[in-house]
Structure 1
């Protein structure tokens, strides 16, 4: 996550800039959560890391769950900017799908992305809103963006979805990208994927998708 932190008011929507102290607290919270996990992190730790009073922390974030939700939102929003900026170009669907796949793998297989996913999975039964926040800030807007790109590709005749809607096709594509790689590295924290491994998986998914839905002459 970059030093410029913003929490989106809605997925892929306008940003709601945070004040300087709130940003300081959020940066400190990110560091503490990634180091100690959700259960192990305390507001005292975050307060000390941020160098602010406890009242300052609570003035911006009412409790630890809300603070963690803000960290998840800001992380997802910051790391997904490349996907949000992808533009449709007629006749370039293979290149577009590769760009989506490459960028999405960078997000879900990043050290912080995997760490946050593990935390959410570990705590979602006790704090259901964490799971909802994670989904609304991460996978859902990505599917939405891919849906728009696939709709334009279908309109241009670059793909043929048959009875599938653009949203259904987007769910298939995005789900395929993260499937095995994300599961593997979630359960093997001591390993790190190489650039070549990510590129190989991206090519496999794009080739498979286009064999099913690519335009045939």
Structure 2
């Protein structure tokens, strides 16, 4: 029999009902997976009624998508804004790379990705919800960032979207797959991947290489 989880405790700033539900849903999905998570369990953990959940979210799929979107928005509202200074470009790209590494390699992100992979064969729509709510939104934010670098004349990139995908791809070394498979870490350090990705980007597209 499934153990009844206590309601989530919230400290410091009180959360809205919607935020309480999203926080509880995240814990349920990560702990039990998508299929085994029920709206009753989320309601109990959030300390609200099931009717309150349905007042905010149409169904479990909608709740799952909203939870992913919420985490994505919290992460990418800290995306650096290009300052238009070629001399600071390397530092800004390095900070961006470190931020992306922390997001990509976060234990919660890895665990959530495992949940989606485990369920998507039986429920392909879940993979679509995850992609649209998370990775696609993240890629849109990165694309906009690189487009700004191009518009400011800092990088001579032919395609902002392609550059964003290339940058993320360079940050995903073999350790990313090892972590997904719950193996011991090995290979390149994440920090080394950031250095290599930034250096590659600047060598390929910097307009004022001597200043960056």
Q: Compute the TM-score of the two structures, normalised by the length of structure 1.
A: 0.76
Task: Determine helix, strand or coil for the equivalent of 1:82.
Answer: coil
In structure 1, the residue matched to 2:206 is 214
Structure 1 residues 138 and 86: alpha-carbon distance in aligned structure 2, compared to 1, 3 A threshold: farther
Contact 2:39–2:60 (CA under 8 A) maintained in structure 1: yes
Are 1:89 and 2:84 matched, yes or no? yes
Q: How does 1:98-137 map to 2 (within 5 A)?
A: 98-137=94-133
Task: Determine helix, strand or coil for the equivalent of 2:144.
Answer: helix
Structure 1 residues 90 and 44: alpha-carbon distance in aligned structure 2, compared to 1, 3 A threshold: same
1:40-64 CA distance string (max 9 Å, x none): 2222221221222222222322322
Contact 1:72–1:116 (CA under 8 A) maintained in structure 2: no
| Cα deviation, residue 191, structure 1 | 4.7
Of 20, 25, 36 in structure 1, the residue corresponding to residue 16 of structure 2 is 20
In structure 2, the residue matched to 1:174 is 168
Q: CA RMSD in A?
A: 2.7
Structure 1 CA distance for aligned equivalents of residues 129 and 83 of structure 2: 28
| Cα deviation, residue 192, structure 1 | 6.8
Are 1:138 and 2:130 matched, yes or no? no
Structure 1 CA distance for aligned equivalents of residues 104 and 90 of structure 2: 21
Structure 1 residues 86 and 51: alpha-carbon distance in aligned structure 2, compared to 1, 3 A threshold: same
| Cα deviation, residue 155, structure 1 | 4.1
In structure 2, the residue matched to 1:201 is 193
Task: Determine helix, strand or coil for the equivalent of 1:89.
Answer: coil
| Cα deviation, residue 96, structure 1 | 2.0
Structure 2 CA distance for aligned equivalents of residues 155 and 58 of structure 1: 44
Are 1:66 and 2:66 matched, yes or no? no
Are 1:29 and 2:21 matched, yes or no? no
Task: Determine helix, strand or coil for the equivalent of 2:71.
Answer: helix
| Cα deviation, residue 69, structure 1 | 1.4
| Cα deviation, residue 110, structure 1 | 0.8
- The structure with the largest alpha-carbon Rg is 2
Contact 1:146–1:170 (CA under 8 A) maintained in structure 2: yes
Task: Determine helix, strand or coil for the equivalent of 1:142.
Answer: helix
In structure 2, the residue matched to 1:12 is none
